[in-house]
A = this chain, B = another copy of it.
Amino acid sequence: MPARDFYHDAIKTALIKEGWVITHDPLFLKYGSTEMYVDLGAESVFAAEKGTQKIAVEIKSFIGKSELADFQQALGQYLLYRGILEEVESDRILYLAIRDRVYLDVFESAVGRLISEKHHLKLIVFDWQEEEIVLWKE
């Protein structure tokens, strides 16, 4: 299993505060002979007619030496996991969880906006110290 992301507990607490139940920590994925772990799986029961909503959450710290390299890695990981989820559990929606500062610096830059829109990235933006979600970006 991978090393826990630095912000793992903060995003977990933030999700629970919003009424999500953490069902997988981590969420195991397998496709062919390749095994992977997405950081979290969670469920929430909304209005009865909507049924249960299921998400998978991959948390990215962006603490590498280059924001651009971190962005490439996050993009590749997100699209890999999403591609596999579409095959094995298509009703579970994948989110990339990032800190508010990373959202503003990287995902709201010209390159970040361009690529996020091209690939329809779904983001959870969180305040690490307050352990709260500040934005769900679809």
Q: Which residues of A contact B (CB under 8 A)?
A: 31-34, 36, 68-69, 71-77, 79-80, 83-84, 87, 109-111, 114-115, 118-119
Contacts and interface: CB of A to CB of B under 8 A. Distances in A.
B111 A80 contact: yes
In the complex, the count of this chain's copies comes to 2
Contact of A110 (B32, B36, B110): B32
Contacts of A74: 76
Contact of A76 (B73, B109, B110): B73
Contacts of A73: 69, 72-73, 76
B34 A111 contact: yes
A8 B40 CA distance: 38
B115 A34 contact: no
A34 B110 contact: yes
A98 B95 CA distance: 30
Given A76-B71, A76-B75, A83 B32 contact: no
Contacts of A34: 68, 109-111
B80 A77 contact: no
Nearest to A116: B83
